[in-house]
Structure 1
Amino acid sequence: MDAAVDALEEHRPSLLAVGYRLTGSWADAEDAVQDAWLRWDRLGADGRDAVRDVRAWLATTVARLCLDRVRSAPARRESYVGPWLPEPLLTTGPDDVLDAVVTAADVRMATMLVLEHLTPDQRVALVLHDTVGLGFDEVGAVLGTTAPAARQIAHRGRRRVREAARDGELPAPVGEPEQRRVLDAFLAALASGDVPTLVAVLHPDAALRTDGGGVVKAARRVVRGADKIARLLVALLEEAGPDLLDVVRTVTVNGEVGMLVPSSPPMVGVLTVADGRAIGVHVVMTPEKIRT
């Protein structure tokens, strides 16, 4: 039993990364890893000894457990109130399992949103092949298809990711100092209430997504364009009161510098930076998605 537990613990961060990249939900990732553990335990000592690649067995099991939820996600997103954002991962340091998950895979908000645009099968194929490093025989087995078909599915998904990068939806990651510089400039401009100054911090093609889930007041649509975003944010801050920014804490969100507003309900925000400005403004306000 100790050996079985050790095997799961060794691979837990990468398994949680698989579950999170597939579902965008930390709770779903944890449930999938727990269910995979139960199936691993039920194999018994002889069954576990017969598994040649423990990591691959566990990863494909997690993927299978997530697959039904991934396939139902498009329908659930259509009925979701307002823009959908993944559950933010707030990490506290190297001893935090979330930090290990963020290290194990690219889980930036921009990346997670691009994954949402893939078909469920493309998403599974890319995560299992490109992130976990499984062969297409194993990917095909999870998807219920052949290895050549799985290869084509992954190729189409990869092409969509490249298109997103080309179109500015998935800019190259920038370092922490640049993230902090842009976030500090964003908060300072917002605090001043100066719309032109805030516009200068935002990329002309910027998009604002506020996820309230129908529970918290938020924009029902993605707001696009630096001027529209700046005017909306300044108006919202005036309504909430400038004291709101006094309690903002800098935190790490999905591996990037972000902010936590410990209001009631709390808010978590993170910027996607491109060309020295914020091209993506992502604000999660749905209470059930925020763990502080």
Structure 2
Amino acid sequence: MTTQSRPGHGRPDPGLDAITSERGQLINIAYRLLGSLAEAEDAVQETYARWYAMSPQQQDAIRSPGAWLTTVTGRICLNLLGSARARRETYVGEWIPEPLPERTERSTGRPGGATADPADRVTLDESVNLAFLVVLDSMTPAERVAFILHDVFCHSFAEVAEIVGRTPAACRQLASSARRRIRASQPSATPAAHRAGIVRDFKQAWEAKDIDALIGLLDPDATAIADGGGLAVTFLRPIEGGEQIAHAWIEIARRRTGAMTFLERTVNGQPGLVAQQDGVTVTVYAFDVAGDRIRRIWVVRNPEKLRRWTTG
């Protein structure tokens, strides 16, 4: 690990090196734990604030700054998760994790510049698709932390135990419980190209106002959930049933006004759609596809969660 000099001391400053080498990893961990990139960035900022609040002697006593930063970030996220349920009691309507676009679609400023978006640091793999994040949100905070840090980021249960304040054996049980939840909620894997084809067929049927085609693409027990955060008009309660969703989507199509365009886009690494009103992204649609049917649709309209989506 290379080091830089601490100003005024002329000797290595592991904290500066940790910023360049660990920040991306911390953002990846925090986003998966919190489901919000804004909150993840705040958690990581708080972690570094605590690092720089220590004296040079205290910093030098830390053998692995990267491990220390991970532990502190994990604890901050654990505390945030513990208060999230109370905060969401005042949230208007349903809460959906913040959707992320592909890097090429993000508004990030100049590559490598100081204004680079933290979203650029998030690896879009299976552990950040919306279906996965929604299941994570149903777990207890301790389960979520144990599972993400051990199963996704390969930290030992001894390391996890330092964060959640339990024994390694208890953390092993937490991760096992979380694993069972994931297995129970996830269907057999559907090839990405096939998922994209189903989403494309849905888009075409919706634009054609073909209700029979929509019903054929939706699982009879499908669910649609919308998140407007009280800042955009949505349906406040989930819509249950494929037929009911198809009728709702036809009604949306009939009420549509202005120059609305639907585009196929990647949402958290999965095939999805975005709606642009007069060139501005106003809605992101994420889909959970099993076989030839859509099981779940997530509709994100809260503008605070769409800041990282460009107009293409």
Q: TM-score range by the shorter chain?
A: 0.7 to 0.9
Q: CA deviation at 1:152?
A: 2.0
Which residue of 2 is the match for residue 280 of structure 1? 296
Bigger proportion of residues as helix: 1
Which residue of 1 is the match for residue 130 of structure 2? 109
Q: CA deviation at 1:53?
A: 4.1
- 1:114-263 maps to which residues of 2 (within 5 A)? 114-164=135-185, 170-241=186-257, 243-244=259-260, 247-263=261-277
**3-state SS of the aligned residue for 1:271?**
strand
**3-state SS of the aligned residue for 1:209?**
strand
TM-score normalised to structure 2 length: 0.82
**3-state SS of the aligned residue for 1:258?**
strand
Distance 2:58 2:265 in 1: 43
**C-alpha RMSD of matched pairs (Å):** 2.5
Distance 1:181 1:44 in 2: 56
Q: CA deviation at 1:52?
A: 4.2
Residue of structure 1 aligned with 2:284, choices 246, 255, 268: 268
- 1:53-92 maps to which residues of 2 (within 5 A)? 53-92=64-103
- Retained in 1: the 8 A contact 2:190–2:289? yes
**3-state SS of the aligned residue for 1:208?**
strand
Deviation digits for residues 221-269 of structure 1 (CA, Å, limit 9, x no counterpart): 111211110000110111124852xx22332211112222222771111
Distance 1:272 1:104 in 2: 15
Deviation digits for residues 132-187 of structure 1 (CA, Å, limit 9, x no counterpart): 222222212211222222222222222222222xxxxx234544322321111011
- Retained in 1: the 8 A contact 2:263–2:273? yes
Distance 2:15 2:125 in 1: 22
- Retained in 2: the 8 A contact 1:266–1:290? yes
Q: CA deviation at 1:101?
A: 1.4
Matched AA of 1:151? R
Distance 1:172 1:42 in 2: 48
Distance 1:108 1:261, change over 3 A: same
Which residue of 2 is the match for residue 167 of structure 1? none
In the alignment, structure 2 segments of 5+ residues that lack a partner are: 5-13, 106-110, 112-116
Deviation digits for residues 99-130 of structure 1 (CA, Å, limit 9, x no counterpart): 54134661000001000110111111111111
Matched AA of 2:132? T
- Retained in 1: the 8 A contact 2:32–2:133? yes
Q: May I ask how many residue pairs the two structures share in their alignment? A: 285
Distance 1:64 1:271, change over 3 A: same
- Retained in 1: the 8 A contact 2:200–2:264? no
Distance 1:203 1:251 in 2: 22
Could you tell which deviates more after superposition, 56-65 or 220-229? 56-65
- Retained in 2: the 8 A contact 1:210–1:282? yes
**3-state SS of the aligned residue for 1:280?**
strand
Which residue of 2 is the match for residue 35 of structure 1? 46
**3-state SS of the aligned residue for 1:196?**
helix
Structure with larger Rg: 2
TM-score normalised to structure 1 length: 0.88
- Retained in 1: the 8 A contact 2:211–2:247? yes
Distance 2:263 2:123 in 1: 20
Q: CA deviation at 1:78?
A: 3.2
